[in-house]
Amino acid sequence: MSELRVMTAQSEDLEPSQRAELLALCGAAFGEPFEETWDRVGPGLHVMGELGGRVVAHAMIVDRRLYFGHEADLALDVAYVEHVATAPALQGQGYGAATMRRAGGIIGEEYALGALSTSRNGFYERLGWETWAGPTSIRMPDGERLRSPSRDGQVMILRTPRTPSGLSIEAPAAVDWRSGDSW
């Protein structure tokens, strides 16, 4: 692996050219236009892996609230990871993993828990993430929970030194609703 420089920037600090570069990277990695998805998530901290003057890997940390237990027994503000992407031609070379290790370090220093939703659990498990085994739901604005069975087995967490000791990965978990894909 060539020398990867991993850096961070808040959304509001990105230059228009950097934002365009990140949108292009995510669009190429996910195989679809990305601007609407990007805007839906809102501002956050971008963790970027740069190689030879261009960003080749990206992850974004946004603040979200997750609820654990049957009646939201525990509510935590978590670091929710979005838009994890590596340039398609460079996937499998460790750039995405290096970027996620940096994101994990930030989560460990600043949050009680990290969370994300993925269909690539094995990639994250190698980096210390655990697959949530309990049922998942979306918490609507009125507080009602709607089951999201399509996300069961796709939600993952990263424990930190501040993670509550009683947090069981078999408990129900819910995330606040947002337009588009809530998880």
Instruction: Tell me the pTM.
Output: 0.93
- CATH at 58: 3.40.630.30
Q: Residue 70's domain spans which residues?
A: 5-176
Please check whether residue 9 lies inside any domain of the structure. Answer: yes
Please check whether residue 181 lies inside any domain of the structure. Answer: no
Please check whether residue 182 lies inside any domain of the structure. Answer: no
Please check whether residue 172 lies inside any domain of the structure. Answer: yes
The number of folded domains in the chain is: 1
**pLDDT in 10s for each residue of the chain, 183 residues:** 569 999 999 999 999 999 999 999 999 999 988 888 888 888 999 999 999 999 999 999 999 999 999 766 789 999 999 999 999 999 999 999 999 999 999 999 999 999 999 999 999 999 999 999 999 999 999 989 999 999 999 999 999 999 999 899 999 999 999 988 889
Please check whether residue 183 lies inside any domain of the structure. Answer: no
Please check whether residue 106 lies inside any domain of the structure. Answer: yes
Instruction: Provide long-range contacts, Cβ within 8 A and 24+ apart, for 119-128.
Output: 119/154, 121/153, 121/154, 121/156, 123/96, 123/97, 124/100, 124/156, 125/156, 126/97, 127/97, 127/100, 127/101, 127/158, 128/104, 128/158
